[in-house]
Amino acid sequence: MLEIITTRHNPMIDPSLHVWGWEIPVYLFLGGWVAGCMVLSGWLMRHGRAPGQRSVAYVLPWVGVVLLSLGMGALFLDLEHKLYVWRMYLTLQPTSPMSWGGWILILVYPVLLLGALASVPGALLSRWTSLEKFRVRLTRPASLSRLGTANIALGIALGIYTGILLSSLGARPLWASAALGPLFLVSGLSTGAAFAHMVARDPAEQSTLLRADNAFLMVELALIALFLIGHLTSGAVHSNAAALLLGGPYTAVFWVFVVGLGIVLPLLVQSLMASHRIGHTLIAPLLVMLGGLALRFVIVSAGQYSHWISP
- Chain positions contacting other proteins, by CB under 8 A: 1-14, 17, 19-20, 78-82, 84-85, 87-88, 90-91, 93, 95-99, 101-102, 168-172, 237, 304, 307-308, 310-311
Select 6 or 129, whichever has its Cβ closest to other proteins: 6
User: In whole angstroms, what separates CA 9 from the centre of its chain?
Assistant: 34
One DSSP character per residue, 58-97 reads GTHHHHHHHHHHHHHHHHHHH-SSGGGGGGGGG---TT-H
The CA distance from 256 to 291, in Å, is 9
The CA distance from 141 to 274, in Å, is 30
Q: How far is the CB of 151 from other proteins (least distance, A)?
A: 25
Select 240 or 281, whichever has its Cβ closest to other proteins: 240
Contact 109, 115 (CB under 8 A): no
Select 1 or 123, whichever has its Cβ closest to other proteins: 1
The CA distance from 80 to 232, in Å, is 35
Q: How far is the CB of 172 from other proteins (least distance, A)?
A: 6
Sign of torsion over alpha carbons 51, 55, 57, 62: positive
Select 94 or 279, whichever has its Cβ closest to other proteins: 94
Task: Look at residue 21 and give its three-state secondary structure.
Answer: coil
Select 87 or 127, whichever has its Cβ closest to other proteins: 87
Q: How far is the CB of 264 from other proteins (least distance, A)?
A: 31
Q: How far is the CB of 110 from other proteins (least distance, A)?
A: 21
Q: How far is the CB of 294 from other proteins (least distance, A)?
A: 21
Select 9 or 276, whichever has its Cβ closest to other proteins: 9
Q: How far is the CB of 168 from other proteins (least distance, A)?
A: 6
Sign of torsion over alpha carbons 265, 266, 267, 269: positive
